[in-house]
Amino acid sequence: MREYTPRFESRRHIFGCIVVLAGLAVLALAAGSAAAAVADEPANAGAHEPTDALAASFQANESVSEEAYEEAVPEPGDRWYEASASDGSWISYVNPRDEYRSPYLGGGSGKVCVTLLNEAGEPIVGESIPDTTVTVPTGESLEWHTGADPMTVEYPLTDHYERPLDADQFGTDPDLPQGDGYLDSHCIEWHGLPEDATIEYGEAQIEGEHAEDVELVGYIQQAHEAWDTDVDPIEDAVSYEEAGGGWTYETDASHGQAVVVLQLAESTGDEGSSDDPGSNATDSNASDGTGSNGADDTLANESTGSAGDDGSTGGTDRLPGFGPFAAILALALAAGVAGVGGRVRSRR
């Protein structure tokens, strides 16, 4: 009597293989559906919109070309402290560039100042812009002043002047008549002009090795009264024409001041300096002929899912791979089929 058990076992193994193949097919369909779902998502679907707090944090940690120069104003008893009004309307500090006209012709007084700020709007002394000079022409009425005709400011201030900053022109402090308590400007001062004199100053000229790194923000002029420090050096600066370029003293109003506001220019990142990490990436890409923009392109591809040089997309790269799992199942299937074949051949 013939036995059919081997053939039955062979059919059972073959049926098992068919089940495995069906499972692989279902797995492949699932992988295809997941890939299609990722492909259909917007390119920036995985990116998080920055919160206000995060943006503020970035701004707070924004790098500057030169750190702020912080020097507190002199206090009574200090060699650089001069005087203050009994009614609390003004305060004055000793300035080596303050000169009295001889002969003394009247109560006309004033200042012309230059304020240099870093990218964050903080006062600096120009250590990052050596061999740079700012020139402010002054009129005939100040030709007797050794620091005028024209007024010249050389940077860095700490290399050229005993008193780099001498005035507190901006900000407020409840304990001070004027200013926020920190020096921020380099000035020339004068006293002894007629009380009907006219003061004139020209447009500032920036020259030197780093002239292109300095922007002329504008001018702030206040005439006929004590200087109001409750102003913003950037927001309140105006053009030379709007500022006026000078003033004429009036009776019982024989004072005036003007401040030229400068600021370090924002870096464009185009110069590719050795300190710029992006420049190295750009140079390496240029040398290998890919023509890509280095790290910036890489970050863009990763965040937007745009196609890279090989046509792949950032979004697809993030899809969890089914390859290893499928390979293992395929090897198991091959082993199973081989085993089935061996059993069928052994029973023939």
Q: Which residues of 13-42 are buried (b: 16+ CB within 10 A; e: fewer)?
A: beeeeeeeeeeeeeeeeebeeeeeebeeee
Query: Higher model confidence: residue 266 or residue 331?
Result: 266
76 pLDDT band, cuts 50/70/90, is: very high
Backbone angles phi, psi at 116, to 5 degrees: -110, 130
Comparing 241-255, 263-277, 304-318, the range with the smallest average pLDDT is 304-318
Q: What are phi and psi of 41, to 5 degrees?
A: -70, 150
Lowest mean pLDDT among 101-105, 225-229, 275-279: 275-279
Tokens linked to 133: 């000079």
Q: Is residue 41 pLDDT above 70, yes or no?
A: no
pLDDT, tens digit (0-9, with 9 covering 90-100), for 115-152? 999 999 999 999 999 999 999 999 999 999 999 999 99
- Residue 29 is predicted with a pLDDT of 56
To the nearest whole number, what is the mean pLDDT of the chain? 76
Write the single-letter amino acid at 251: T
If residue 99 lies in a helix (H) or strand (E), which one and from where to where? strand 98-100
| pLDDT, greater one: 149 or 305 | 149
**pLDDT(75) > 80:** yes
Hey, how many other C-beta atoms are within 10 angstroms of the C-beta on 197?
20
pLDDT at 225: 87
The answer to whether residues 190 and 139 touch, using CB atoms and an 8 Å cutoff, is: no
Given a cut of 80, whether residue 22 has pLDDT beyond it is no
Instruction: Provide long-range contacts, Cβ within 8 A and 24+ apart, for 81-87.
Output: 84/177, 85/177
Window from 16-30, 181-195, 284-298 with minimum mean pLDDT: 284-298
- Report residue 288's pLDDT band, with 50, 70 and 90 as the boundaries: very low
Query: pLDDT value at position 251?
Result: 87
Q: What's the confidence (pLDDT) of residue 143?
A: 97
Q: Cα–Cα distance between 314 and 183 in angstroms, integer? A: 51
What are the structure tokens assigned to 215, written together? Answer: 């922007």
Average pLDDT estimate for 15-41: 52
pLDDT of residue 248: 97
If one compares 237 and 2, the residue with the highest pLDDT of the two is: 237
| pTM greater than 0.85 | no
Reply yes or no on whether the pLDDT at 65 is more than 70: yes
Q: What is the mean pLDDT of residues 51-78?
A: 76
pLDDT band at 343 (very low <50, low <70, confident <90, very high): very low
Domain spans in the chain, listed from the N-terminal domain onward: 5-40+321-346, 81-264, 277-317
What is the distance between the alpha carbons of residues 308 and 238, in angstroms, rounded to a whole number?
47
Using alpha carbons, select from 236, 143, 147 the residue that is nearest to residue 186: 147
pLDDT at 156: 98
Tokens representing 206 are 């920036």
Radius of gyration for the chain, computed over Cα atoms and rounded to the nearest angstrom: 38
Q: Which of 194-203, 224-233, 282-291 has the lowest mean pLDDT?
A: 282-291
User: What pLDDT was estimated at residue 320?
Assistant: 47
pLDDT of residue 267: 74
CA distance 318 to 305: 9
Q: Work out the average pLDDT over 230-238.
A: 98
